[in-house]
Structure 1
Amino acid sequence: MSVINLEYLLKPRSVAVIGATNDPRNAGNIVMRNIMAGGFMGPVMPVSDEAEAIAGVLTHPSVKHLPKTPDLAVVCSPLDQVPEIIHSLKERGTKGAVLMGSGFASMTPEERLDVKSTILGIAKSPEIRIIGPKSLGFMVPSLNLNASLAHGAVGPGKVAFISQSDSLFATVLDWAIDKGVGFSHMIALGSRIDVTFADILDYLGSDPLTRSIMLYVESIKDAREFMSAARAASRNKPVLVIRPGQALDTVLGDVKLRETGDHWLMDEVYDVAFRRAGMLRVEDIDGLFDAAQTLSTPRQVYGKKLAILTNGTSAGILAADRLLNGGGELAPLSDETIKAIDGVLGAENWSRANPVDIPFNADGNAYSAVLKLLIKDKTANGILVMHVPWTAQPDREVAEALRDSLKRVRRMVLTAWLGSGAAEEAREVFRKADIPTYETPTQAVQAFLYMAEYLRNQEMLIETPDSLPTDFFPDTTGARAIVQKALDDERDSLTEPEAKDLLAAYGIPVVETRIAVSAKEAVIAADALGYPVALKLRSPQIPQPFDVGGVMLDLETPERVWEGAASILARCTRERPDAYIEGFTVQKMGRRLGAHELSVSATVDSVFGPVLHFGHGGMAREMIQDQALTLPPLSMSLAKELVCRTRIATLLRGTPSQLPVDIDDICLTLIQISQLIVDVPQIMSIDINPLYADSEGVLALGGKVEIAPFEGEGEARLAIRPYPRELEECVVLKAGRHVTLRPIRPEDEKTHRTFLSSLTDEDLRLRFFGVVQRDFDHKDIARFTQIDYDREMAFIATALDEKGEPETLGVMRTNTRPDNSEAEFAIVVRSDQKGEGLGSMLFYKGIQYTKERGTLVLEGQTMRENKAMQGLSKKFGFVVTPDQHDEDLVNMTLDMETVEI
Structure 2
Amino acid sequence: MSTYRFDRLLAPRAVAFVGAGSREGSVGRSVLSNLMRAGYPGRILPVHPTEGEIEGLPAAPSLSALPAVPDLVVIAVPPAHVPDVVEEAGRIGAAAAIILSAGLGTGPEDPGPRARRAARHHGLRLIGPNSAGLCVPGRKLDASLFAHAPSAGDLALISQSGTVAAAIAEWASRREVGFSAVMALGSAMDVDASDCLDHFAADIRTRAILLCLDRVEDARRFMSAARAAARAKPVVVLRAGRRRPDAPAASDSAVTHTGALARPDAVYAAAFRRAGLLAVQDLDEMFAAIETLGRQRPFPGKRLSILTNGLGIGLLAADRLADRDGILARNPQGNPVNLGMDAGGPAFAQALEPLLTDEESDAVLAIHVPTIRSDARAVATAIAETVTQARKGQSRKKPVFAVSLGEAETVRETFAGAGIPQFSTDTEAIEGFLHLVRYREAQDDLMRTPDSLPRDFSPDTERARRIVGDALRQGASWLDPIAVGELLEAYCIPAVPLILAPDIDAAAAAAWPLIAGGQAVALKVVSPDIVHKSDIGGVHLDLTSEADVREAARSILARARRERPDARVTGFAVQPMVRRGRRRELIAGLAEDPVFGPVVVFGRGGTAVEVIDDRALGLPPLDLILARDLIARTRVARRLDAYRDVPAADLAAIALTLVKIAQLSADLPQVRELDINPLLADETGVLALDARVRIGRVPQSRYGERDRRGGGHPGFAIRPYPVEWVRVLNLKDRTVRVRPVRPEDEELFRVFFENLDPESLRLRFFGPVRAFSHAFLARLTQLDYARAIAFVAVEIGPDGRERMLGAVRLHADANNDSGEYAIGVGQDARGTGLAFALMRLMIDWARSEGIGRVEGTVLSENRPMLAVCRRLGFTQKRDPDDPGVMKVRLDLSEAREAQSRS
Deviation at 1:560, TM superposition (A): 4.3
Partner of 2:604: 616
**1: distance between equivalents of 2:443 and 2:147?**
37
Cα distance in 1, alignment partners of residues 281 and 767 from structure 2: 46
1:401 is aligned with what amino acid? Answer: A
Paired letter, 1:414: F
The question of 1:742 aligning with 2:729 is answered no
Partner SS state of residue 693, structure 2:
strand
Matches within 5 A, 1:455-474: 455-462=440-447, 470-474=455-459
1:633 aligns with 2:630: no
Deviations 1:386-433 (CA, angstroms, capped at 9, x unpaired) = 222234444333322322222243111111122244xx3122111012
- The 3-state SS of whatever aligns with 1:717 is coil
Q: Give the alignment partner of residue 271 of structure 1, picking from 269, 276, 295.
A: 269
Unaligned 5+ runs, structure 1: 339-352
Work out whether 1:717 is the aligned partner of 2:715: yes
Partner of 1:345: none
* Alignment partners' CA distance in 2, 1:875 and 1:792: 24
Checking the alignment, whether the CA contact within 8 Å between 1:246 and 1:264 is kept in structure 2 is no
Worse-matched range after superposition: 448-457 or 874-883: 874-883
Of the candidates 352, 355, 358, which is equivalent to residue 336 of structure 2?
A: 355
Question: What is the CA–CA distance in structure 1 between the aligned matches of 2:863 and 2:811, rounded to whole Å?
Answer: 23
User: Partner of 1:722: helix, strand, or coil?
Assistant: coil
In structure 2, distance between residues paired with 1:59 and 1:465: 59
Change in Cα spacing, 1:495 to 1:467, as seen in structure 2 (3 Å) is closer
Shift of 1:656: 2.9
**Residues 64-102 of structure 1: per-residue CA shift (max 9 Å, x gap):** 111100000111122222222222222211111111124
Q: Does 1:413 align with 2:394?
A: no
Deviates more, 1:647-656 or 1:220-229: 647-656
2:278 corresponds to: 280
What amino acid sits opposite 1:419 in the alignment? Answer: G
Q: Which secondary structure does the structure 2 equivalent of 1:648 belong to?
A: helix
Task: Report the 3-state secondary structure (helix = DSSP H, G, I; strand = E; otherwise coil) of the residue aligned with 1:869.
Answer: helix
Aligned to 1:3: 3
Structure-2 separation of matches of 1:469 and 1:67: 63
Aligned length: 875
- 1:86/1:299 Cα in 2 relative to 1: closer, same or farther (>3 Å)? closer
Q: What residue number does 1:326 align with?
A: 324
Amino acid at match of 2:669: P
Measure, in 1, the Cα distance between the counterparts of 2:779 and 2:170. 39
| 1:548-583 deviation per Cα after TM superposition (whole angstroms, max 9, x unaligned) | 443233445545433443444455566666755332
* Contact 1:600 1:691 survives alignment (8 Å): yes
Q: How far apart are the structure 1 equivalents of 2:303 and 2:143? A: 45
| Residues 463, 718 of structure 1: alpha-carbon distance in 2 compared, 3 angstrom cutoff | closer
Report what 1:857 is aligned to.
Answer: 853
How far apart are 1:210 and its partner, in Å?
Answer: 1.8
The 10-residue stretch of structure 1 (122-131 or 755-764) with the greater mean CA deviation from structure 2: 755-764
Structure 2 counterpart SS, 1:110: coil
Q: Which residue of 1 aligns with 2:28?
A: 28
TM-score (norm 1): 0.92
Indicate conservation of the 8 Å contact 2:679/2:686, yes or no: yes
- SS of residue matched to 1:739: strand
Q: CA deviation at 1:155?
A: 2.0
> Residues of 2 paired with 1:378 and 1:255: CA distance?
48
What is the rounded CA distance, in whole Å, between the counterparts of 1:22 and 1:69 in structure 2?
Answer: 23
Q: Does the 8 A contact of 1:290 with 1:447 survive in 2?
A: yes
| 1:776, distance to aligned residue in structure 2 (A) | 4.1
What secondary structure is seen at the aligned counterpart in 2 of 1:634? coil
CA deviations 1:283-342 (Å, max 9, x no partner) are: 2223213212323445544333221111123322332232223232322213xxx3xxxx
The 5 A counterparts of 1:143-182 are: 143-182=139-178
Q: Deviations over 1:459-493 (max 9, x none)?
A: 32235879986441111121111111111111111
| TM-superposed deviation, 1:893 | 2.3
Matched, 1:135 2:131: yes
Q: Aligned partners of 1:277, 1:576: CA distance in 2, in Å?
A: 44
Return the letter of the residue paired with 1:743. Answer: P
Are residues 1:653 and 2:641 paired? Answer: yes
CA RMSD of aligned residues (A): 2.6
1:766 aligns with 2:757: no
Counterpart secondary structure, 1:788: coil
Q: 1:881 to 1:201 in 2, by over 3 A?
A: same
Query: Could you list the per-position Cα deviations for residues 663-697 of structure 1 after superposition, in whole angstroms to 9, with x for gaps in the alignment?
Result: 12111111111111121111111111111112221
1:798 aligns with 2:779: no
Instruction: Map residues 306-455 of structure 1 onto 2, 5 A cutoff.
Output: 306-334=304-332, 338=333, 353-407=334-388, 408-409=390-391, 410-421=397-408, 424-455=409-440
Q: Report Cα offsets for 1:146-191 as digits up to 9, x if no partner.
A: 2123333222222221111122223223323333433221211011
Q: Quick one: distance in 1 between partners of 2:145 and 2:895?
A: 49
Correspondence for 2:252 = 257
Per the alignment, in what secondary structure is the counterpart of residue 807 of structure 2?
strand
- Distance of 1:694 and 1:271 partners within structure 2: 30
8 Å contact kept, 1:851–1:899:
no
Match of 2:483 in 1: 498
Q: Deviations over 1:501-556 (max 9, x none)?
A: 11211121122122111122113333577744321122455433334443233445
Q: Counterparts of 1:435 and 1:537 in 2: how far apart (Å)?
A: 65
Letter in 1 for 2:533: P
For 2:590, the aligned partner's letter is A
1:887/1:415 Cα in 2 relative to 1: closer, same or farther (>3 Å)?
A: farther
SS in 1 for 2:107: helix
User: Which of 776, 781, 784 is the matching residue for 1:788?
Assistant: 784
The whole-number CA distance in structure 1 between the counterparts of 2:580 and 2:782 is 39
Separation of aligned partners in 1, 2:605 and 2:315: 39
For 1:272 and 1:878, how far apart are their aligned partners in 2?
43
Question: Are the structure 2 counterparts of residues 116 and 709 from structure 1 closer, same or farther at C-alpha, using a change threshold of 3 Å?
Answer: farther
1:894 Cα deviation from its structure 2 partner: 2.2
Deviation string, structure 1 residues 742-768 (Cα, Å, up to 9, x no partner): 322335445445444444444333322
Contact 2:478 2:528 in 1 (8 A): no
Q: TM-score, normalised by structure 2?
A: 0.92
Provide closer, same or farther for how the CA distance between residues 839 and 355 of structure 1 changes in structure 2, counting only shifts above 3 A.
same
SS at match of 2:276: coil
> Given the alignment of the two structures, is residue 509 of structure 1 paired with residue 516 of structure 2, yes or no?
no
Per the alignment, residue 703 of structure 2 pairs with none
- The answer (yes or no) to whether the contact 1:609–1:718 under 8 Å persists in 2 is yes
> C-alpha deviations, 1:822-844, integer Å up to 9, x for none?
21111112222222211110011
